[in-house]
Amino acid sequence: MKVFKFGGASVKDAESVKNVASVIKRFCDEELVVVVSAMGKTTNALEEVVELFFNKGDWQTKLNDIKDFHISIAQGLLPEGHELFERIESIFETIADYLKGAEGNGYSEVYSEMVSQGELLSTRIIKHYLNDNVKKTAWIDARRMVRTDNHFTDSRVDWELTKRNIKSGIPQHTKDGIVISQGFIGSNGQGKTTTLGREGSDFSAAIFATCLQAESVTVWKDVPGVMTADPRKMPEATIIPELTYMDAAEMTYYGASIIHPRTIKPLAQNKIKLFVRPFTAPENDGTVIGRGHAKQHPASFIVKIKQVFISFKVTDFTFIDEKKLSIIFNALDQLNIKTNLMQTSAVSFQICIDKKFDKVEKLVQMLEGEFEIDVREGLELLTVIAHNAEALSQIYQREEVILEQKSEAVYHLLYVPEKKHIIMTEEKKRA
Ligand code: ASP
Ligand code: MG
């Protein structure tokens, strides 16, 4: 059995969906579970609907745009009068009714219920197209498979229950057909929709693969494979043909947007290979991530945007000691915040984290009694893995560097973004 994952960019319009179907067709003699994300930028659009709803704005118009977008894709794929068109209308009525009744519900609960609709819609449309043009296809609601804890967002998987659900719910459908399911979504013990964190569909593919003991996961992307830098930002980037799980974990930890960071662990533990391949050129091998031997890789550049630098200063003329640190780490743990960088000095402790939801505000609220807190938003974090003098000389010198850290393996630079790209080739620097 193989698990495939297709992200939003691979299903952004009718032509792209046809391309996805042609990729799947190449493998349709095999047992296949296909995990798909929301179409194009639908998740962002649904997030906007949620924002508008909570800010008492005009969410109806935005929701209508999302409906029109899906209908127009379906029109490019399915014959006029297909049963799905009515279904889409009724799904959007249900969504609107849900929101009208959601007054007083918590933000993250409404968020997950709403954004999950992107994946549910995209897989419904693609299911019908595959069914009519490639092979019999079974649509599986991932919320009935992936059981999580009660955090509505960034929720954690209950592996035992999930394994039970997937083992009893999937294999009977892969024998004579394709299974299509949604990435990113699950449900909690009360049957309410939960989400695994933005870009979480890769992780979903790993969950399905782990529970089914699949031979591999293939993440089909709009890049040739795992690259030494984001090719949109650095055209000189080259493909890395082979990586170990450890290399890949490190790259994703520091924000390489190739795959969701949580994807690697279950695959490594179960020795399931992960392929990253281009959906525009499915004959190419792309990158394989597996056990392999560690190799000397070329330097890789990773830029993480929307970074926040927070400084906690002691106010009572004592020092930053274990007690103070444990107060901070406790708060980070409670809010499920991952630090990208940290630094201590005698009287202050500093961290760099992602700007996500209202977590920065909550962290400040929790700790402002203990520390003098300074928050600086809108920063970027550059990480260079396997750095060397030549790689570091390509960094464009910024006026404002917030923090620089260098260890044997990794180099970090936290800076205020300017117009110029952070990585410049020698020619560009001279120009
Ligand atoms: N649709 C979700 C997102 O855009 C999940 C995913 O694409 O992996 O974050
Ligand atoms: Mg995506």
Span 320-350, pLDDT tens digits: 999 999 999 999 999 989 999 999 999 999 9
> 228-255: per-residue pLDDT in tens?
988 887 888 899 999 999 889 888 888 7
Instruction: Quote the pLDDT of residue 91.
Output: 97
What number does the ligand 1 atom closest to the CA of 198 have? 9
Residue 335 CB: number of other CB atoms within 10 A? 16
Distance 195 CA to ligand 2 centre (A): 13
Residue 428 has pLDDT above 70, yes or no: no
For the domain that residue 413 is a member of, what is the CATH number? 3.30.2130.10
Q: CB of 264 within 8 A of CB of 272?
A: no
Ligand 1 and 42: CB distance under 6 A: no
Q: Are residues 157 and 13 in the same domain?
A: yes
> 191-215: per-residue pLDDT in tens?
999 999 999 999 999 999 999 999 9
Distance 67 CA to ligand 2 centre (A): 19
Distance 199 CA to ligand 2 centre (A): 5
Amino acid at 51: E
Domains held by the chain: number = 2
Task: Give the DSSP H or E segment for 404.
Answer: strand 401-406
Instruction: Quote the pLDDT of residue 362.
Output: 95
Q: Among 184, 199, 214, where does a domain finish?
A: 214
Q: Are residues 201 and 333 in the same domain?
A: no
**Which protein residues have a CB closer than 5 Å to ligand 2 (ion)?**
7-8, 37
What number does the ligand 1 atom closest to the CA of 260 have? 8
**C-alpha–C-alpha distance, residues 147 and 177, integer Å:** 25
Residue 76 has pLDDT above 70, yes or no: yes
Q: Are residues 96 and 200 in the same domain?
A: yes
Q: Is residue 246 part of a domain?
A: no
> 15-68: per-residue pLDDT in tens?
999 999 999 999 999 999 999 999 999 999 999 999 999 999 999 999 999 999
**Closest ligand to Cα 204:** 1
Ligand 1 and 8: CB distance under 6 A: yes
For the domain that residue 155 is a member of, what is the CATH number? 3.40.1160.10
> 4-26: per-residue pLDDT in tens?
999 999 999 999 999 999 999 99
Highest mean pLDDT among 180-184, 230-234, 334-338, 425-429: 180-184
Q: Are residues 206 and 314 in the same domain?
A: no
Q: What percent of the chain clears pLDDT 90, i.e. is strictly above it?
A: 81
Q: Are residues 210 and 308 in the same domain?
A: no
Q: Is residue 182 part of a domain?
A: yes
Q: Is residue 86 part of a domain?
A: yes
What number does the ligand 1 atom closest to the CA of 196 have? 5
Q: Are residues 181 and 323 in the same domain?
A: no
- Nearest 5°: phi and psi at 364? -60, -45
For 304-345, what is the HEC assignment?
A: EEEEEEEEEEECCCCCCCHHHHHHHHHHHHHCCCCEEEEEEC
**C-alpha–C-alpha distance, residues 252 and 233, integer Å:** 17
Of the listed ranges 90-99, 176-185, 408-417, the least confidently predicted one is: 408-417
Distance 64 CA to ligand 2 centre (A): 21
Mean pLDDT of 107-129: 98
The residue nearest atom 8 of ligand 1, judged by CA position, is 199
Q: Is residue 251 part of a domain?
A: no
User: Domain of 326?
Assistant: 300-430
> 283-302: per-residue pLDDT in tens?
999 999 999 776 678 889 99
Ligand 1 and 37: CB distance under 6 A: yes
Question: Integer distance in angstroms from the first to the last C-alpha of the chain?
Answer: 52
Q: How confident is the model at residue 129 (pLDDT cuts 50, 70, 90)?
A: very high
Q: Is residue 241 part of a domain?
A: no
Mean pLDDT of 367-383: 95
**C-alpha–C-alpha distance, residues 393 and 92, integer Å:** 53
Q: Are residues 167 and 61 in the same domain?
A: yes
Q: Is residue 229 part of a domain?
A: no
> 266-276: per-residue pLDDT in tens?
999 999 999 99
Instruction: Quote the pLDDT of residue 337.
Output: 92
What number does the ligand 1 atom closest to the CA of 44 have? 4
Distance 12 CA to ligand 1 centre (A): 12
* Mutate-to-test residue for ligand 1 from 37, 204, 219, highest number of ligand atoms within 8 A of CB: 37
What number does the ligand 1 atom closest to the CA of 197 have? 9
Residue 367 has pLDDT above 80, yes or no: yes
Q: Is residue 338 part of a domain?
A: yes
Distance 331 CA to ligand 2 centre (A): 29
Q: Among 183, 214, 245, where does a domain finish?
A: 214
Mean pLDDT of 410-424: 87
Q: What percent of the chain clears pLDDT 70, i.e. is strictly above it?
A: 98
Ligand 1 and 43: CB distance under 6 A: yes
Q: How confident is the model at residue 426 (pLDDT cuts 50, 70, 90)?
A: low
Q: How confident is the model at residue 181 (pLDDT cuts 50, 70, 90)?
A: very high
